[in-house]
Chains A and B, each alone.
Chain A
Amino acid sequence: MSFSSFGKIGYVSETKVEDFVRFLEKGKIMATKCRRCGKLYFPPRADCPDDLSSDVTWQELSGHCKLLTFTTVYFAPTGFQDDLPYSLALVQCEEGVKVFAPFSKDVDEGKVHIGMNLRLAPKKLPNRRITYELKQT
Chain B
Amino acid sequence: MSVAIVGVGQTPFRRSCGSSIRELCFEAFRDTLTDIDLVPKGIDASIICSAPEYDKQRSPAGLISEYLGLNPQPTFYAESICSSSSTGVKVGYSFIKSKLHDVVAVIGFQKMSEISSAEVQERMGRGADIQWESPFGTMMPAGYAMFARAHMQTYGTSEEQLARVKVKSSKYSFLNPLAMYRRVVTLEECLKARVIANPLKMFDCCANADGASCVILASEEKARKITDTPIWVAGIGAASDTLSTTARTNLTGLTCAVEAGRQAYRMARIKPEDVDVAEVHDCFTIAEIMACENLGFCKPGEGGKLVEDSQTYIGGKIPVNVDGGLLSKGHPIGATGGSQIRTIVLQLQGQAGKTQVDGAEIGLVHNIGGIGLYGNVTILRR
| Chain A interface residues toward B at CB < 8 A | 3, 6-12, 15, 42-43, 68-80, 83, 86, 88-90, 97-102, 114, 131
A90 to B124 CA separation, bound complex (whole angstroms): 20
Asked if A68 contacts B150 (CB within 8 A), the reply is: yes
B46 to chain A, nearest CB (A): 34
Asked if A7 contacts B141 (CB within 8 A), the reply is: no
CB-CB under 8 A from A8, the residues of chain B are 135-137
14 new A-B contacts, CB < 8 A, other than A6-B135, A11-B126, A77-B124, are A3-B131, A43-B132, A69-B251, A73-B198, A74-B196, A75-B197, A77-B121, A78-B125, A90-B246, A90-B251, A98-B248, A100-B246, A102-B136, A114-B150
22 contacts between A and B (CB under 8 A): A3-B131, A6-B135, A8-B135, A11-B130, A43-B129, A68-B251, A69-B147, A69-B149, A70-B146, A71-B145, A71-B199, A71-B200, A72-B197, A73-B196, A73-B197, A73-B198, A74-B197, A78-B125, A98-B247, A100-B245, A102-B137, A114-B153
B195 within 8 A of A: yes
Cβ-defined partner of B142 (8 Å) among A15, A73, A97: A73
Task: Return the chain B residue nearest A101 by Cβ.
Answer: B136
**How many inter-chain residue pairs (CB < 8 Å) link A and B?**
117
A28 to chain B, nearest CB (A): 17
Asked if B139 contacts A69 (CB within 8 A), the reply is: no
A33 to chain B, nearest CB (A): 16
Are A79 and B137 also in contact (CB < 8 A) when A11-B130, A42-B246, A88-B142 are? Answer: yes
Contact pattern, B 249-290, Cβ under 8 Å of A = 1, otherwise 0: 001000000000000000000000000000000000000000
Are A77 and B136 also in contact (CB < 8 A) when A11-B126, A69-B150, A71-B145 are? Answer: no
| Chain B interface residues toward A at CB < 8 A | 118, 121-122, 124-126, 129-139, 141-142, 145-147, 149-150, 153, 194-200, 244-248, 251
CB-CB under 8 A from B247, the residues of chain A are 98
CB-CB under 8 A from A69, the residues of chain B are 146-147, 149-150, 153, 251
Are A131 and B136 also in contact (CB < 8 A) when A9-B125, A71-B146, A99-B246 are? Answer: yes
